[in-house]
Amino acid sequence: MSSLTTVTCIEDLRRMAQRRVPRMFYDYVESGSWTESTFRSNVDDFQRLKFKQRVAVDIQSRSLRSSMIGTEVAMPVALAPTGLTGMLCGDGEILAARAAERFGVPFTLSTMSICSIEDIATHTSRPFWFQLYVMRDRDFMRRLIDRAKAAGCSALMLTLDLQVMGQRHKDIKNGLAAPPKPTLRNLLNLATKPQWCLSMSRTPRRSFGNIVGHAKGVSDVSSLASWTTEQFDPALCWQDIEWIKQAWGGKLVVKGIMDAEDARHAADCGADALIVSNHGGRQLDGAPSSIAALPHIVQAVRGDIEIWLDGGIRSGQDVLRAVALGAQGTLIGRAFLYGLGAAGQAGVERALQIIAKELDVSMAFCGRTDIGGVGRSILLNPQIFDDLTKI
């Protein structure tokens, strides 16, 4: 924990993670598809929104507390579902879930996690959310849903923007696959990461815990690669969401919305929340940033469905900007992964502390004392993304 005392921002955690995590797994986190223009825009576009500073306002008592689909949260932030989290450090998903539980924000487990649904349920006491991909093997999907129910998951998050895989050049060059390829270049790099190697040596969890031993024909990592390349379903359509919602029977969140018409479909299909998201810039390169797309989604469906946002959030100020433009919740992916790679559970907790501190202080400078009272009026230029054709 001593190494975290001088960490003051998410960028500090990113640099620490880069030093400690093997290149192929760090690059998996810190990359987008094709030219990575959308990956960069996700971060850069937040900075285009400028705050309106207010003074001589009583800001002694402030609150960041909010709710996301009925779940009380310490701030309007949840940990996003991220694949391969358990390869940033040993038992990564368990550690991240514990950090979220201690801080009072939701944790979302990815289908493509290293630790399983059951692992998270065993090692935490707070209900968590589970993210689901639409697979060709519908029986496997039903079993995943049943396992999530049995584990007490309080919401199902359905990702809609991975019918085909975006080309991620760094992953291809690094030989990152499912399972990763042990090339000489990768093995030599591993030799320079002793802390990571030690953490991985202490856990038996090094495969995809939700898939291996559960999906038909996938009994070990050697049979996993062909299964994953065949399973993402390009035939996914809005009608599929109806049977998923019925099979689940609980709170449903749909992720990957970047268009106003799709937002209307999400509201009409009975989802409880939608996430404005471009998959962290890892799918359609050249798409707008998530924050640029947000105002159009808000205008299309405000009041009909909860609207959340992920992609590019690296500070509490970014959370504040998203809330100002109409997001009722946000999700962080890379920001918490940097913390995890840097220092395990303590690193994730530090990432959340940093974001909360920045959110609280920035809200105060804008003359607001309750996150629920934040709106477009705290921004000098809230209209900057209102015309996407000019971006």
DSSP H helices in the chain:
10-20, 23-29, 37-44, 92-103, 117-123, 138-150, 169-174, 184-190, 194-201, 224-231, 238-248, 260-268, 290-301, 316-324, 334-365
Three-state DSSP class for residue 29: helix
Q: Which residues contact 330 (CB under 8 A, 6 or more apart)?
A: 76, 77, 78, 308, 309, 310, 313, 318, 319, 322, 323
pLDDT digits (tens, 9 = 90+) for 26-71: 999 999 999 999 999 999 999 999 999 999 999 999 999 999 999 9
Top pLDDT among 217 and 304 is at 304
Domain boundaries, the chain: 2-390
Closest CA to 374 of 50, 106, 64, 103: 64
Q: How far is CA 145 from the centre of its chain?
A: 20
C-alpha 367/C-alpha 377 separation (Å) is 11
What CATH number is given for 2-390 in this structure? 3.20.20.70
Is residue 44 within 8 A of residue 315, CB to CB? The reply is: no
**Active site (catalytic) residues:** 279
Is residue 287 within 8 A of residue 258, CB to CB? The reply is: yes
- pLDDT category at 226 given cuts 50, 70, 90 is confident
Annotated binding site for FMN: 81-83, 110, 131, 159, 255, 277, 310-314, 333-334
Which token pair is 120?
């998270």
| pLDDT of 237 | 94
Q: Which residues contact 319 (CB under 8 A, 6 or more apart)?
A: 75, 76, 77, 313, 330, 355, 358, 359
pLDDT (mean) for 7-20: 98
Hunting for tokens 């030599």 — which residue is that? Answer: 188
Is the entire prediction scored with pTM above 0.85?
yes
- pLDDT category at 222 given cuts 50, 70, 90 is low
Is residue 383 within 8 A of residue 56, CB to CB? The reply is: no
| pLDDT of 35 | 97
Annotated binding site for glyoxylate: 28, 133, 168, 279, 282
Top pLDDT among 184 and 181 is at 184
C-alpha 49/C-alpha 309 separation (Å) is 16
C-alpha 235/C-alpha 33 separation (Å) is 22
pLDDT at 248 over 80: yes
C-alpha 132/C-alpha 158 separation (Å) is 5
pLDDT digits (tens, 9 = 90+) for 258-314: 999 999 999 999 999 999 999 999 999 999 999 999 999 999 998 999 999 999 999
Annotated binding site: 28, 81-83, 110, 131, 133, 159, 168, 255, 277, 279, 282, 310-314, 333-334
